[in-house]
Chains A and B, each alone.
Chain A
Amino acid sequence: MNIVTKKWLFLKFSSVILIPLMGWFIFNLVSIFDKDYVEVVIFFSTQPSKFLVSLLLVFAFFYSALSISEIFKDYVHDEKIKNTANKLLFIFAISIPLITILIIFNLNI
């Protein structure tokens, strides 16, 4: 299978997973954003939100990295800059969700 086709399929697969997760998350975010520390920690450290937030972060950063790399492909014409930008993007897309998931799994009251 062509690499571009694979990339497109990954994008579509992650968007199908992200649609319900984003809806669920924004609804819960509106419910908890102004609550006390204890309530916010309980939300992030208990199931199913612990698992669903982790899943959202993995797919959101994966989807964004793929989409933003497409924007780089369209608008950045210098190969060196494009490669560096893509490398930085993928480091960012792996490290941020990984660190946050580790924090979520270590949160407790």
Chain B
Amino acid sequence: MENNNPLSPHIQIYSWHISSLISIVHRITGVINIIAITLICLWIGSLLFGETSYEITKTFLQSFFGKFFILGLSWSFSFQILSEIRHLIWDLGYGFELKTTKITGIFVIFGSLFFTILIYLLGKQII
């Protein structure tokens, strides 16, 4: 029998909140991170083929796309770390008030951007 019930709440009319946004991005960055770690495993594996074959990987990593990949990964890792700390604080029974969840949510978003820049600058010894 065909189900004609309407979908509710539908994604097009759903009112976005900071908590739902963080929750979805937490899952997406989790998937991105494990794909990236798998690629890093392949990168480590490529080291077995010697210095000559490594030149191709090095050229990619030194290109704009390589740097963009690393910068993106820094953000994805930073977001996941901060969001996971937020989850652990919840697990301890703190931070459930509506105002607090909004503040910690905003901290995760802006904190991840701040740490991405900080990690990149410190890692490249620019500061």
B73 engages A29 (CB within 8 Å): yes
CB contact list, B30-78 vs A, under 8 A: 30-31, 33-34, 37-38, 40-41, 44-45, 47-48, 50-51, 54, 58, 61-62, 66-67, 70, 73-74, 77-78
Known A103-B47, A103-B48; contact A30-B37, beta-carbon cutoff 8 A: no
A-B contacts, 16 listed (Cβ < 8 Å)? A15-B84, A16-B88, A18-B84, A19-B81, A22-B81, A31-B123, A34-B58, A34-B67, A37-B58, A38-B51, A44-B47, A68-B31, A68-B34, A97-B41, A103-B45, A107-B44
CB contact list, A46-81 vs B, under 8 A: 53, 56-57, 60-61, 64, 67-68, 71
CA distance A36 to B17 in the complex (A): 45
Assess whether B107 is interfacial by the CB under 8 Å rule: no
* B interface, over-half SS: helix
Contacts of A22 in B (CB 8 A): 77, 80-81
CA distance A38 to B50 in the complex (A): 10
Known A37-B54, A41-B47, A44-B47; contact A26-B88, beta-carbon cutoff 8 A: no
Which of A19, A26, A57, A71 interacts with B27 by CB under 8 Å?
Answer: A71
Which of B47, B58, B122 interacts with A27 by CB under 8 Å?
Answer: B122
B residues with a Cβ closer than 8 A to A are: 27, 30-31, 33-34, 37-38, 40-41, 44-45, 47-48, 50-51, 54, 58, 61-62, 66-67, 70, 73-74, 77-78, 80-81, 84-85, 87-88, 91, 119-120, 122-125
CA distance A29 to B124 in the complex (A): 10
B66 engages A33 (CB within 8 Å): yes
Q: How many A-B residue contacts, CB cutoff 8 Å? A: 92
Interface size class of A (residues with CB under 8 A): 35 or more
A30 engages B120 (CB within 8 Å): yes
Assess whether A94 is interfacial by the CB under 8 Å rule: no
CA distance A107 to B54 in the complex (A): 14
B88 engages A27 (CB within 8 Å): no
A residues with a Cβ closer than 8 A to B are: 12, 15-16, 18-19, 22-23, 25-31, 33-34, 36-38, 40-41, 44, 53, 56-57, 60-61, 64, 67-68, 71, 96-97, 99-100, 103-104, 106-107
Report the minimal beta-carbon distance from A65 to chain B, rounded to whole angstroms: 9
